[in-house]
Amino acid sequence: MKQDRGKYKTLFLSTFKLSACTFGGGFVIIPLMRKKFVEELHWIEEQEMMDLTAIAQSSPGAIAVNASILVGYHVAGITGAFITVLGTVLPPLVIISIISFFYRAFRDNVIVNMAMTGMLAGVAAVICDVVITMGKTIFRQKRILPVAVLLLSFVAVRFLNVNIILIILICGVVGAADTFYHEKKRGA
């Protein structure tokens, strides 16, 4: 029981700190969660984190909250999911509540606007890091289908303006069929 409390405490504090120090949306928190739970704590394998990230991205809602739910559940079940959600939503809730009281002062402040512009560049860099990290994992598999899905999805979204929901659904079906095929092949 004491070990569970320690794990719960670590889950809460980790997600709380990550959420409190993350600006720029959910994609920014993913590499930080990866570093914490995969590299530092070794609670999640690299491939599992990639899978959890894919599920978090394709699920409705905020990616940071979705990823926290999945990581918390993976590490400590339903209680872990509740703890990580609380740790993830509390900092923005408190910060936004405080900022809302002083919104008029912040809105027109030149220094605040310059700081936000600087943060935007940092956020773009972190998102690029996520793309490169996830891309490396896909290319390391040395299989043609995941790379083809990656490239075709990019072309469909970027150049052909295909609806992202359709892309997600098609990729989910292709991924499920591919997994089913390889599992059946492995079992035969």
**Cβ 16 vs Cβ 87: under 8 Å:** yes
Mean pLDDT, residues 126-133 taken together: 82
Around 15, how many Cα atoms within 13 Å sit in the side-chain half-sphere? 27
Q: What are the φ and ψ backbone dihedral angles of 6, each rounded to 5 degrees?
A: -65, -40
Cα dihedral 23→24→26→32 (10° resolution) = -50
pTM check: above 0.75? no
**pLDDT tens, 132-183?**
887 888 888 778 898 899 899 999 999 999 999 999 899 989 989 988 998 8
Alpha-carbon span 67 to 70, nearest angstrom: 5
Task: Reply yes or no on whether the pLDDT at 10 is more than 90.
Answer: yes
Alpha-carbon span 10 to 121, nearest angstrom: 30
CA angle 64, 84, 124 (to 5 degrees): 25
% helix, strand, coil for the chain, step of 5: 85, 0, 15
Alpha-carbon span 124 to 101, nearest angstrom: 28
Mean pLDDT, residues 76-95 taken together: 94
Neighbours of 85 (CB within 10 A): 19
Mean pLDDT, residues 98-123 taken together: 81
